[in-house]
Amino acid sequence: MMTRMVMQRIGIGFATLIVVSIIVFIATSILPGDVAQIVLGQSATPETLAALRAQLGLDQPGYIRYFSWLGNMMTGDLGISKAGGATISSLIGGRFGNTMMMAGFVALISIPISIALGLWAAMHPGTWLDRLVTFGTLSLISVPEFFIATVAVLILAVELHWLPSTAYMTGEETFFELMKALAMPLITLVIVVSAQMIRMTRAGILNVMSSPYIEMAILKGVPRGRIILRHAFFNAIGPIINVIALNLAYLVSGVVIVETIFAYPGLAKLMIDGVQTRDLPLVQACAMIFCGTYVILILIADVGSILSNPRLRNPK
Amino acid sequence: MKDDKSKSELNYKDLTQSDKDLVAKLVKGGFSRREVLKLSMVTGVSLVAAEHLLFNGKAAIAATPKKGGSVRMSSNLHGPDDKLDPATFTSTIDYTRGRATYNSLIQHANDLSPQPELAESFEPNGNATEWTFKIRDGVTFHNGGKLTADDVVYTMKRHQGEDSTSVIKSVLASVKEWKKTGPMEVKAILESPNADLPTLLGLFQTKIVKNGTTGYTQKEDGSLEQNGTGPYIMESFQPGVKSVHTRNENYWREGANLDACEITAITDPVARVNALISGDMDMVTQLEPNSFRQVESAKGVTLLSTPAALQMGICCLKNSEPGSSDDFVKGMQYIQDRKRIVKRILKGKGSLGNDTPISPAHGKDWCSELPQREYDPDKAKFHFKKSGYTEAELFVAPVSGGIEDICLTAQANCAKIGFNLKLKKVPTDGYWGAVWMKEPLNVVTWNMRPTANSQLGIQFGPGAAWNDTFWNNARMGELLAQSLAETDPAKRHAMYCEMQTLVHNGSGMVIPAFSNINDGIADNVMGMPTVPLGQLGACEWPEFIWLA
C-alpha cells in the first residue's frame, strides 16, 4: 500500500517536472527579447544580434531547442549558460550548497523553537504567555520579510555594528565567522518561517484537544501536559509536518528577497537573474530543482502523516 | 603680506591627524567654497590659508601612495552573464574586472585626453587617415608570454568582421585594417579621417588579450587561463558572486598598490549603501539620490559625485506619431521643469540638459553659446495645441535613477496645461530590445562617450544604428565627418556648436538633465580617479587607489 503510494507519487512528480519545464519554456519565450538582445543590451545592432544568435543556436526553432535541452537533461548534462558561457552545473553548484546550508540552519533553529513554542501555547491557552505568542506570531506573519530584514540591518549593522550587513562569504572562514556572516539572513528567515509553524502547531493541537477521546482522558484525570504530548501531539502531527514541509520548500526556492537584501549567493536569485537574461537552460535547471524539492518534501510530509496516523497506516 | 606668511607656516605635514583626516576627506570629495570655509573654521586658519592647505594637502596625499591592504568593491549589477572576454563587456562590474586584469593601448585621463598605456606613442599621418602605434616593450602576460604587435592586431581584429559579436564593433567600424608594421608597431588604416581614434581605443572593451585567446578563460577544472597584462591577477571568478584579484608583482609600471581586491555586486540599492556605511564594502557604485544625505552624514565614508554627461532622455521617434510633429516635441521640451529636476530629483548632483547629448563634462566641445531652454508652460501649451495632439503615451522603465520621477513631473506639469501625458511603466529587462527605438515615446540613458563626436554620431548620425529618435539630417552627417578631420580648434568648436544647435532644434530628443556619477567610498581610499565615463572614475580605480 505504502510502496504503491510512494511509487505513484514519484511518477506524478516526474510528470509534474515535465509539465513545469514546458510551462517555463513557453513563459520564458513569451517574455519580450531573447538572450542575445539582453546580453548585447543597448549596444545591439542587427549584425551583432544575428552573429550572437547563430553562436548560441537561437536561430533554431523553439521546439527543437526544447527537445535538445530535454535530451541533454535526461543524460545529466544541464548545458551551458546562454548569457555568460559558464556551464550551468558550475553556476548552480556552489549556490545550491549555499541555499541548502541556509535552509538547513534555518530549519535546525526554527523547527524546534516553533514546535516548542506552539506546544507551550497550546498547553496554556488563554494565558498571557499564549496571548503574547499569538500576538507576536500574527504580527510577524503580517510584516513582509524585506521590512524585517531592513530593520534588522539598520539596527544591528548600521547603528550598532554588531553584525555585517551583507552575507558576504570569503570561503575560508571558521564556523564562528560563517555564523556571523550568515547571522542577519538567518535571523530574518527564522522569524519569518517560525511564526507560521508556531501558529499551525498551536491550532493543530487545540483542534485535537476538542475531540471526544481527549475529553475522556481529561475525565480520567490525566495531566494536561501528558495529554498533549502523549495523545494529542501525534494526532496533530499530520498538518504540522505539512506546514514544515511547505516552509522548507519555501526556504529552498522562495527566499529571493532575503538573498537580494543580504547579497547572499543562493539559487532563488540565480533563477531571477536567469529570467532577466532570458537564459533558458539556467531557468529550466533552477525550476527543476525547485519543483523537485517541492515534490520530495510534500511526499515526505504525506508519508510522515500516514505513518503517524494508524487509521491511514492500516486501511480496512 | 599676512596671507603669504600663514601659507608658508601652515603645511599639510604639520597638521594633527584629525585635521589631516578632514583635509583628506575634502580632497577626495572635491571641495566647494563652503567646505573650504568649514575647514577654515575648524582649524582656525584664514580662508586663503585653508584653501592653500587643501591644495597643499591634495599634493601631499597624491604624492605618497602606500603599498598594501585590500579592498572590497560592490557594483550595482551582476549575474550569470558576467563576462571575462573584454569584447563582450557590458556592465560596470565587467569594466572593473577588465581594468584590473588587462590594459588598453590608450588610457583616458581625468580630462578625457588620451594617454599612452600599452601603446608607448601614437601618431597620425597628415590627414588622420592612418594612425601608428608603438607597442610598449617589456610587458608580459600573467601567464608569462611577452606582448607583441601580433597580440594587438589579433585583439583589434576581434572587433571586425561578420562573426564579431563585439559590443564596440560599430564604434570602430571606421578602421579598415589593423596592420602589423613591425615586431612592436601597429598601424590602423581608416576609411575616413578620424582625429579621435586614440580616445576611442581607451573604451572598456578594447582591452588587449593574448593572440589566439579571448582573454581570461575558465578551464575545465574551474581555474583560470590568465591572459592579461593588467595590474592585478584574477585568482578566482564566480559569475554573479564575486571575483578575487591579487597584485601582479611583474606589473610593467607603478600602480597596483593593493595586495588584493574583491569585486562583487549588491543589487539592492539600500543594501549597497548599508554595506558601505557598516564597513562591509570599501567602495560602492550607483548611489541613488534618496541615499545621498545618509552617506554624506555617515562617519568614515565619502560621497563621490563626478559631473558627467549621463543623459536622462525622452525619445520622441520622428518616424511615427506623435514625435513626427515638431510642435509636439517642442511641447515636450518646454514642459520640462529642468531646474526643479536637478534640484529636487537629482538633489543637486546633476546638471541642466539642453536637449542635446553634450554636457559641460565634454569640455571644450560643449556649446556654451546655445541658449538654455527653460521651463515654459505657456510655450508648451502653444506647441501642443499647434501639434493637434491632446494626449500621448510614454513608455517608462527605470533605466536610470530618477528618470521615472522626471516623467512623473512632466506628467503633472502637462496636466496643468490640459495635456494628458500617460505613462506606461515597463520593466528594464528586455527594455532595450522590446521598447527602446520601437515605441513612439520612450526613455533612454546613455553612458557618456569619450568624445563629443562619438556621442553625437552614435545617436544622431544619419542612419546610425542607434539613432534612437530616427532623426536623419544630412547636414549633421556632413558635420560629423568634417569635424573629425578638423584640427583648427575654433573651427572645430563652431562645427560642434552647429551640431548641437541642430539637435537642440530639430531632433526628437528631450534631455532635461544630466546626472552626475555618484559613488561612495571609505575615507581611507586614496588616489581615486575622476574620469567621467563611468562609475568610480570610469572603473579606472584598480590602477590608482591605495589605502591611507
Same-domain pairing of B319 and B294 = no
Question: When comparing pLDDT for B232 and A77, which is higher?
Answer: B232
Question: What CATH number does the domain containing B388 carry?
Answer: 3.10.105.10
Q: How far is B298 from chain A (nearest CA, A)?
A: 10
Task: Report how far apart, in Å, the C-alpha atoms of B4 and of each of B8, B9, B49, B50, B530 are.
Answer: 6, 9, 8, 12, 31
Q: Quote the number of domains for chain B.
A: 4
Same-domain pairing of A12 and A138 = no
- B466 close to A (CB below 8 A): yes
Question: When comparing pLDDT for B37 and A37, which is higher?
Answer: A37
Same-domain pairing of B267 and B322 = no
Domain annotation covers residue A81: no
Same-domain pairing of B508 and B536 = no
Domain annotation covers residue B88: no
Same-domain pairing of B152 and B286 = no
Same-domain pairing of A136 and A203 = yes
Domain annotation covers residue A162: yes
The minimal CB distance from B432 to the residues A37, A52, A282 is found for: A37
Q: What is the mean pLDDT of chain A?
A: 85
Domain annotation covers residue B90: no
Same-domain pairing of A28 and A115 = no
Q: Angle formed by the axes of helices A88-123 and A280-307, to 10°?
A: 30
- pLDDT score at B379: 94
Residue A7's pLDDT band, with cuts at 50, 70 and 90, is confident
Domain annotation covers residue B128: yes
For chain B, which ranges sit under pLDDT 50? 1-9
Give the structural domain span for A128.
Answer: 93-313
The minimal CB distance from B81 to the residues A95, A170, A277 is found for: A277
- B59 close to A (CB below 8 A): no
- pLDDT score at B186: 95
Q: Minimal CA–CA distance to B467: which of B201, B87, B163, B170?
A: B170
- pLDDT score at A28: 77
End-to-end CA distance of chain B: 35
Q: How far is B532 from chain A (nearest CA, A)?
A: 20
Domain annotation covers residue B94: no
For residue B165, the one-letter residue type is T
Same-domain pairing of B464 and B338 = yes
CB spacing of A51 vs B164 below 8 angstroms: yes
Same-domain pairing of B320 and B464 = yes
Same-domain pairing of B417 and B458 = yes
CA–CA distance, B88 with B168 (Å, rounded to integer): 9
- pLDDT score at A168: 83
ipTM over 0.85: no
Same-domain pairing of A10 and A146 = no
Domain annotation covers residue A287: yes
Same-domain pairing of B363 and B425 = yes
CA–CA distance, A175 with A197 (Å, rounded to integer): 28
CB spacing of A55 vs B240 below 8 angstroms: no
Domain annotation covers residue A58: yes
The minimal CB distance from B239 to the residues A46, A47, A86 is found for: A86
Same-domain pairing of B50 and B174 = no
Distant-in-sequence, close-in-space partners of B76: CB < 8 Å, separation ≥ 6: B92, B265, B266, B267, B269, B272, B285, B286, B535
Question: What CATH number does the domain containing B182 carry?
Answer: 3.90.76.10
CB spacing of B222 vs A90 below 8 angstroms: yes
The minimal CB distance from A265 to the residues B164, B241, B274 is found for: B241
- pLDDT score at B546: 93
Q: Which residues of B touch A52 (CB under 8 A)?
A: 165
CB spacing of A168 vs B72 below 8 angstroms: yes
CA–CA distance, A158 with A44 (Å, rounded to integer): 41
- B408 close to A (CB below 8 A): no
Choose, out of A42, A80, A163, A262, the residue to mutate when testing the contact with B (most B CBs < 10 Å).
Answer: A42
Average pLDDT over residues A239-260: 87
Domain annotation covers residue B96: no
Give the structural domain span for B497.
Answer: 307-516
Domain annotation covers residue B214: no
Q: How far is B234 from chain A (nearest CA, A)?
A: 15
B76: nearest CA partner in chain A: A263
- pLDDT score at A269: 86
- B268 close to A (CB below 8 A): yes
Coil, strand, or helix at residue B312?
A: strand
CB spacing of B434 vs A33 below 8 angstroms: yes
Domain annotation covers residue B254: yes
Domain annotation covers residue A262: yes
Residue A278's pLDDT band, with cuts at 50, 70 and 90, is confident
Judge contact between B334 and B376, C-beta under 8 A.
yes
The minimal CB distance from A260 to the residues B74, B267, B280 is found for: B267
Domain annotation covers residue B486: yes
Same-domain pairing of A27 and A160 = no
Same-domain pairing of B338 and B401 = yes
- B280 close to A (CB below 8 A): yes
Residue A240's pLDDT band, with cuts at 50, 70 and 90, is confident
Which letter does DSSP use for residue B440 in this model? S
Same-domain pairing of A135 and A282 = yes
Q: Quote the number of domains for chain A.
A: 2
Cβ count within 10 A of residue B144 = 8
DSSP one-letter string for B217-248: EE-TTS-EE----SSEEEEEEETTTEEEEEE-
Same-domain pairing of A100 and A151 = yes
- B430 close to A (CB below 8 A): yes
CB spacing of A37 vs B267 below 8 angstroms: no
Coil, strand, or helix at residue B135?
A: strand
CA–CA distance, B27 with B59 (Å, rounded to integer): 9
Q: Which residues of A touch B266 (CB under 8 A)?
A: 166, 263
- The model's pTM is 0.83
Same-domain pairing of A146 and A210 = yes
Same-domain pairing of A63 and A35 = yes
Residue A308's pLDDT band, with cuts at 50, 70 and 90, is confident
CA torsion through residues A87, A91, A93, A94, sign: positive
Question: What CATH number does the domain containing A285 carry?
Answer: 1.10.3720.10
CA–CA distance, B203 with B171 (Å, rounded to integer): 10
Same-domain pairing of B480 and B378 = yes
Same-domain pairing of A67 and A97 = no
Same-domain pairing of A32 and A120 = no
Same-domain pairing of B462 and B542 = no
What is the pairing mode between strands B283-284 and B509-522?
antiparallel
Question: When comparing pLDDT for A146 and B263, which is higher?
Answer: B263
Same-domain pairing of A57 and A100 = no
